[in-house]
Amino acid sequence: MLVIGERINSTRKAIRKAILDRDADCIRKEAQRQVEAGADYIDANAGIEPEREPDDLVWLTETIQSAVDCPVSLDTASPDAMKAALGVHKGTPMINSITGEEGRHETVLPLADEHDARLVALTMGRAGMPRTVEDRMEAARGVADLISGQGIGLDRVYFDPVLCSVATESEAGQIALETVSRLRDEFPDAHITCGLSNISFGLPQRNVLNRNALAMLMAAGLDSAIIDPTEPHMMSAVRAAEALLGQDDFCMNYITAARGGELD
């Protein structure tokens, strides 16, 4: 299970202030906390103002990688910011994200190819937010064709089924599970990730929904997630699901986490 830590996002007030103030200590501590909790990638979002985003994302990338030996998921819709941050990134970057919408993939895919980056591919096409499982699958096929046409292998792709909140769409959980299952069947070489917390937006005690949804989605075929690994019980749910799904030989990761006091 590849964990992408979501906490360094400019929509959070503390992170926005840290970016504006160039508070490197704040960003380093956030990165370190997430890696210590189990993050494999650190997502970096610097979308405060378009004109300053390239400089901000470069600063975030360099600051994160000065604190942890961990690659960064570059979370931006700006080609200029993406190109600038890829230029300073160390290791295998991740680009978050690409869709089948016109105007995005023409610039992102060549950058991904040049830098050997992993790609988060939203199951969203020209029609915008998908409504049904089939809408998502049609969008996935379209973006897969675009990626393959660039010569990028699907083993570098992380499809995102675009989770919606069960608070506003009662069938959103079932749609997510079915989409993940079908993506796994149709694209066996690809990976599947998601912005997990979207499923609980607007509801109380979101942690309960988040961690239960994660275990169910992993059973359906999810092998990555964009989450807050410091959230109580979240990484315990990951380790338990890995053990129960036969993804943890002899439950060694689970046992190691238990011995280290990491299970709660």
| Domain boundaries of the chain, sorted by first residue | 2-259
The label of the residue with tokens 């315990």 reads 236
CB 212 within 8 A of CB 226: no
- CATH architecture for segment(s) 2-259: Alpha-Beta Barrel (3.20)
Residue 125: its pLDDT value, please? 84
Q: Identify the pLDDT of residue 102.
A: 63
Tokens 């830590």 identify what position?
5
**Residue 196 DSSP SS3:** helix
Sign of the CA dihedral 78, 79, 80, 85? Answer: positive
Per-residue b/e over 106-122, b at no fewer than 16 CB within 10 Å?
eebbebbeebebbbbbb
Whether the bond into 97 is cis, omega within 30 of 0 = yes
**pLDDT value for 208:** 97
Residue 57 sits at φ, ψ, to 5 deg, of -70, -35
257 SS3 class: helix
pLDDT at 264: 82
pLDDT for res 128: 84
Query: Mean pLDDT throughout 143-154?
Result: 95
For residue 195, the 8-state DSSP code is: B
Res 232 pLDDT > 80: yes
> Where is average pLDDT lowest: 77-81, 102-106, 231-235?
102-106
What percent of the chain stands above pLDDT 70?
A: 99
Least confident of 21-30, 94-103, 145-154: 94-103
DSSP annotation string for 112-125? HHHHT-EEEEES-B
- pLDDT over threshold 70, residue 27: yes
**Mean predicted confidence (pLDDT) in 244-255:** 97
What is the CA 253 to chain-centroid distance, rounded? 22
pLDDT tens digit sequence for 172-210 = 999 999 999 999 999 999 999 999 999 999 999 999 999
Other CB atoms within 10 A of residue 145 CB: 10
Q: In this predicted model, what pLDDT tens digit does every residue of 212-228 receive, in sequence order?
A: 999 999 999 999 999 99
pLDDT in tens, 48-71: 999 999 999 999 999 999 999 999
The tokens for 145 are 């064709």
> What proportion of the chain, given as a percentage, has pLDDT over 90?
94
Give the pLDDT band of residue 103 (cuts 50, 70, 90): low
The average pLDDT across 242-260 equals 96
Task: Write 15-23 long-range contacts (CB < 8 A, 24+).
Answer: 16/48, 19/46, 19/48, 19/56, 19/59, 19/60, 20/48, 22/59
Look over the chain and give the mean of its residue pLDDT values, rounded to a whole number. Answer: 96
In the prediction, which pLDDT does 141 show?
96
Supply the pTM of this predicted model: 0.96
Q: Between vectors from CA 228 to CA 59 and to CA 4, what angle results, nearest 5°?
A: 60
E-assigned strand segments in the chain:
2-9, 41-45, 72-75, 94-98, 118-122, 157-160, 191-192, 224-227
